[in-house]
Amino acid sequence: MLPSSFFPQRLASSVCSRLANRRFAFTLTALAVLVAKFVHIHSHLSALSTQQLLLWTYSFFAQDLGLLIFIRLLLDHWVAQASKGSRFAIATLTNTLIAYNVFLGLVATTFYVVSGSEIRWRNVAVASDASSRALVLTGTVTFVIIIGLNLGCSWLLQDACYGLFGFFADVVNACFCFVARLLARIFCCRSRAYARIPQQDVEYYRRSSFDLSDSDSESGLSSSVNSGILSPPHAFFRLLSGWLERANIRASPTAVQFVCKVIVYILASILLVGLIVTSILRPVDGSLTFLSWTTGLLPFIDFSSSSPTLEKLQTHYGTGIQHKWDNISALAEPIPLTWLPKGDPPVGFEDWYKHLDHYSAAADPMKIDNLDQPLLPELKNKLKDINIRHVIVFFLESTRNDVFPIKKDGLIWNRLADTWPDKKLPKHVQDKLATLTPTANFITGDFDDGFDHPKGSQKGRGGLHFTKAVTAGTYTLKSLPATLCGIPPLIADFNLDYQHHIYQPCLPHIFEAMNRLEQSDDTKDPYAKSKWQSYFYQTATLQFNQFDKLMAKIGFPKENTIDSEYLRSKAATHGRVPNPNTNYFGFEEEPLMDYIRDAFKSAKDNDERVFLSHITSTTHHPFVLPDETKYVPLSNGLDELSHYINAQGYDDQWAQKVLDLLEEQGVANETLVVFTGDHGTSLAENDIASAYYDPNVGVDHVPLVLSHPQLPAFSVNDAVSSVQVLPTLLDLLLETGSLNKQSRKAIQDLVANYEGQSMIRPQKTISKKTGQGNWQITIVNPGRALLSVRDARYPDRHLVVPVINNVEWRFTNITEDPREQHSVQGFNFPTFLESVEERHGVEVAKWIEEGAFIVRFFVEENNKRWRYGPYAV
């Protein structure tokens, strides 16, 4: 009698044997490679026409199938006949190919599932940063699940997959053998009429897997003979033979097996020939070539294709500037600033002391100046009595414009409603949304949100609410310098900005330079002896991607900079904060309250002026609320969107607490607060939470409010950009008389030399000097590949321009397609223009060409101004 442990051991042995064999390893490789290829194609599906898909999709798999057939050949029986050294080399090559392709395939698939976009291998270096580990680990669960699915499918499909590719391998093997024998006869038989036939070769060919008789070959259908899972082939053919006899067709099982094998080999041959033919006949088109690369080669393609694609931009209609601006630059001799102090140069003003070229608005062909315009009608005769002693720039992390405030029957409301029965939100969800963003209502003065508001509560704080504002960068570390320095960020992946030349003085630089001006003895002069203090506060880490170095470069003193590391340290003024992280980078904002209070107390005690910049953290993905805050499910399936909306409610409460603190300190009526999003998220449009490689309008469109209790509350519907915040602040300080005489002179010199127009004046949409429109360009996360482009003349047109190869052009009319689900896309510029012309007309296509050449100039000029790439010092 067999021992009781025999059967479990036998079962375990059987399972393990199916996990540790060449069939399983090959199938795992095949699944990883083919799934990654489907992900690669799906990521760029919109860039192809239906005709292209029908004609050439099969050819996209040529490299993948070629790789798998090669690996299948390396795993075949012939290896056993090689020498020991050759067997070792072949085994090493095979294992390397399998490990490499399995890993890359699984990573590419995981990244797509987690982020909704294709991985860009040239950006993987950011994952090596210690501060990025939390971000990388968020995909761990998904990675493990995908590995598990691949292992399970490989275990089930190993016999069929290994056998199927065996047929293709046999066909390829036979072709090579035939060519080898033919070449041998041609070259060898010329020298000898007769030659000895190597016995090993005879035996090899006799037992080749291409032999249609039964053998112990592991190729083709015979690989399933001893699988332990599938029935032996002869049993299947006996059954098939019996069916044929019932139809009065006499055929032995051996004959049936022979015919079936012949048919399968013929089909395999036809498929291989078809693959070769379609690959040869496929047009030489960038999009088709890019989609044909196998995952194992994509890292090399990604690095080699990172060169600028706009340098050789082709003319199609001849519209716009074309190459007229190729020899024009906005860099010139610095404008005269006679008030600059002698001695050590103030930080941000080094160009004036080193006599280096600096940005000059007068030399910039893209500059449109509106300082000659009167104030907006709503502000006429209302600024002289307004006092601005302090300035706060309040960045709202990942905040879309349409959640500040959220509105009934808007896009988000409807997306949530679609998940519930009858497409109607339950009452508890409606109640939550109705009370989600009261502070945003108060700040913007926008109560037209479809909800009932108590009588007497519909009074805004006061200020200008810009309804059509876009961020200048959809990566936080691009967005902040754009807003605080009034310049487009560097067109480079991630934060390289701190390493290069921030080519205009930022707000902390300006305020510190004003501190060094001669003090006035006139007691009637406003803030005659008041010094500015600049602060940067957040509860997220500053260690991610050199964030701390960027803030130092922008001008925030280290002693006035607070992040999660400081708050958790023993050096924290108000004690160590024990709060756990709510996201990858930090925790809720509450611990900053004491430090904000300290800044204003110090200002009162020491006759100082506060410039405080703060960015929230709770609204960052994965949108986790603090433990003490109740989460209310808002959807019946859109979990991430539901968490995002809840997090926005938390941020709304935090903003109110800051405003209450200003009231508590008695400074509310003398503090201008700029509320703006660093970038948005396209969860409502396409269910993608990350802004990485996502140029969707939901990521670009952010709230922007200049808030002050003494300003009239009104909305401005002009198209504006966050680079306009700095010159607008300077203009407001001038117009409200909030500067002493020396500072006033300095600001008058500086304000006109920034690129953006002042937002407290009517916006000009066209340049009288050049005839060009007011182009607003957003650098798309992570910075190097895509630019999101808008023209203030046509704010409903959204153009996406690739800076490097293998990235699509894209155009959408966001009035007709607000979710950008039906954008025109294409890799090839002339073909893309033709597609746009076909759908939207020639006028729009010509406008795109005009914009493309503007962007071409912008990219080159951006490199020059930042002293980046070939212009690095």
Does the pLDDT value for residue 208 go beyond 50?
no
DSSP code per residue over 315-342: PSS--S-TTTTTT--SEESPPP-TTPPS
Q: Which of 734, 349, 743 is nearest to 517 (CA)?
A: 743
- Please check whether residue 75 is in contact with residue 22, taking contact to mean a CB–CB distance below 8 angstroms: yes
pLDDT tens digits along 509-527: 999 999 999 877 766 778 8
Q: What is the pLDDT of residue 178?
A: 83
Return the top range by mean pLDDT from 82-96, 625-639, 668-682: 668-682
Q: Calculate ∠ Cα 44-47-53, nearest 5°.
A: 85
Residue 331 main-chain phi, psi, to 5 deg = -85, 130
Helices within 795-841 (DSSP H only): 829-840
Q: Would you state the pLDDT for residue 194?
A: 46
- Residue 867 makes CB contacts below 8 A (sequence gap 6+) with 500, 501, 503, 873
Q: Is the model's pLDDT at 856 over the cut of 60? A: yes
Q: Residue 239: what pLDDT?
A: 63
Q: How many helices (H) and strands (E) does the chain have?
A: 28, 15
Reported as a single tens digit per residue, the pLDDT across 130-155 is 666 666 777 788 899 999 999 999 99
Q: What region does 59 belong to: left with phi over 0, alpha with psi -120 to 50, or beta?
A: alpha
pLDDT at 731 over 60: yes
CATH class of the domain comprising 388-762:
alpha beta
Q: How confident is the model at residue 205, as a pLDDT?
A: 37
Query: What mean pLDDT do residues 276-301 have?
Result: 88
Categorise residue 541: left if φ over 0, alpha if ψ from -120 to 50, beta otherwise.
beta
Structure confidence at residue 226 (pLDDT): 35
- Mean pLDDT, the chain, rounded, equals 89
Burial class (CB in 10 A: 0-12, 13-18, 19+), 168: buried
Over the range 320-342, which residues count as b (16 or more CB within 10 Å of their CB) and which as e? bbeeebeeebbbeebeeeeebee
pLDDT at residue 240 in the model: 61
Asked whether residue 219 carries a pLDDT value surpassing 80, the answer given is: no
Residues 548-576: what's their mean pLDDT? 97
Q: How many CB atoms lie within 10 A of CB 244?
A: 16
Q: Tell me: the pLDDT tens digits for 44-78?
A: 887 787 888 888 999 999 999 999 999 999 988 77
DSSP code of residue 825: E
Per residue, what are the HEC states of 351-385? HHHHCCCEECHHHCCCCCCCCCCCCCHHHCCCCCC
> Over 90: is that where the pLDDT of 301 sits?
no
| Tens-digit pLDDT profile for residues 412-426 | 999 999 999 989 999
Q: Residue 228: pLDDT above 60?
A: no
Residue-level pLDDT at 204: 38
If 0-12 CB within 10 Å is exposed, 13-18 middle and 19+ buried, where does residue 465 land? buried
Distance CA 725, CA 435 (A): 30
Question: Among the listed ranges 195-209, 494-508, 757-771, which one has the minimum average pLDDT value?
Answer: 195-209
Q: What is the pLDDT of residue 207?
A: 38
Cα 363 to its chain centre, rounded Å, is 33
Residue 2 pLDDT class (50, 70, 90 cuts): low
Query: What is the per-residue pLDDT for 402?
Result: 96
Annotated domain spans of the chain: 17-304, 309-328+770-873, 388-762
Confidence grade of residue 581 (pLDDT, cut at 50, 70, 90): very high
The residue that leads in pLDDT, 639 or 289, is 639
pLDDT at 721: 98
Q: What is the pLDDT of residue 365?
A: 97
CA-based nearest residue to 68, from 21, 34, 45, 38 = 34
| pLDDT over threshold 90, residue 221 | no
What does the block give as tokens for 751? Answer: 């304000």
DSSP string of 99-140, one letter each residue: HHHHHHHHHHHHHHHHHSS---GGGGGGGGSGGGHHHHHTTH
